[in-house]
Chains A and B, each alone.
Chain A
Amino acid sequence: MSDEERGLGFVLLVVVGGLIFGFGLGVSNMARPEVVLDFLQFDDFGLVFVMGGAAVVTGVVFALAETFGNRAPLTGRDYGRRLKSFDKNVVVGGVIFGAGWGISGICPGAAYASLGVGNYPILVAIGGMFVGAYLQGLWRARRADHAARSTSAD
């Protein structure tokens, strides 16, 4: 069950990457829900530079690695891009996620970072995210169960 823990190098890299990621969320002030809400209410458009700046870096690195890279040294994985299939769930999920983001000003990565800047009330949001993910999983399981039963009844 530990296929992806390829030793100390792997863990250290995840730690370093996570530290930089969290540090960046701190620098950008995205760990503060108020700043995200300021963007959504058109008071401060800075968030465009955060998401844009991050996507430019990943865009360049992903493209270079895919073109010139061979395999990732720590896992032997091929370098690929993040391409998920499109279906209506992408839109439905986007609407629900957007409603939650608009209400709270917080998303998963920024919520973890928010805890790091001392914002303990964010634990309510993180708890809520676990509840939401669990409810979604439960609902999916029930639906799959129901579908299986109605198929076998035919």
Chain B
Amino acid sequence: MTGLTPLFAESLFPNGITHYALGGLLIGLGTAIIYLGTGIIAGASTFLESTLSYVSDLPRFNKVKYVTSRNWRVVFTLSIVAGAALYTVTLGDGWWVSSVQPWRFAVGGVLVGIGTRIGKGCTSGHGVCGVGSRSRTSFVNVATFMLVAIGVAQLLSALGVSP
């Protein structure tokens, strides 16, 4: 029995869990700090709509809540980019470029953009903030996108699409 547990853990978590858990805590901490100071629960995807209000006249993007938050959402997003860059040049192991095929980014990106706006949130909005709020709506959204994403990724993998 003593030999089974580590073997089991190794197959589920071939890269360990420390950096995953630590990264998760920091992601939560970043959200929590902004919340404690401002009362604002900042998800990552509202940036898409609020930024579109700079260039589009569509009323949909020019709601008061987008126009009044668009500036700090740009600051938030740029800070996320900077935070990841800071990690890369300190603890990280250098700059890194994905080898996932570009068409997957293009098609996936469009669907993510549509889906997050229809579904009222993304992995940070529903997955971190909504689940942290014990919101039933968010649990349903997360369970839905998890199951579909697993199915789609496994299907592509089975069809030989890699990476």
Size of interface on B: residues with Cβ below 8 Å to A: 124
Known: A117-B96, A128-B113. A57 touches B29 (CB 8 A): yes
Interface members, chain B 112-163 (any A CB < 8 Å): 112-125, 127-138, 140-154, 156-157, 163
When each residue 28-52 of chain A gets 1 if its CB lies under 8 Å from chain B and 0 otherwise, what string results?
Answer: 1111111001001111111111111
- The distance in angstroms between the C-alpha atoms of A27 and B20, with both chains bound, is 7
B-to-A contact residues, CB < 8 Å: 12-17, 19-45, 47-49, 51-52, 56, 58-61, 67-69, 71-72, 75-88, 91-92, 94-100, 102, 104-125, 127-138, 140-154, 156-157, 163
How far is A81 from B146 in the complex, measured between Cα atoms in Å? Answer: 23
**Interface of chain B, helix or strand or loop or mixed?**
helix
A89 to chain B: closest residue by CB: B118
0 or 1 for each of A111-123: is its CB under 8 Å from B? (1 = yes):
1111111111110
Residues of A in contact, count (CB < 8 Å):
121
* Cross-chain pairs A/B with CB under 8 angstroms, 28 sampled: A4-B68, A20-B29, A20-B83, A25-B27, A28-B22, A28-B23, A33-B100, A53-B24, A59-B132, A61-B28, A62-B35, A91-B140, A93-B141, A99-B111, A99-B149, A102-B151, A103-B108, A103-B152, A106-B108, A115-B84, A117-B87, A118-B94, A128-B113, A130-B51, A132-B112, A134-B113, A135-B114, A137-B117
Which residue of the partner chain, among B12, B27, B56, contacts A21 with CB atoms under 8 Å?
B27
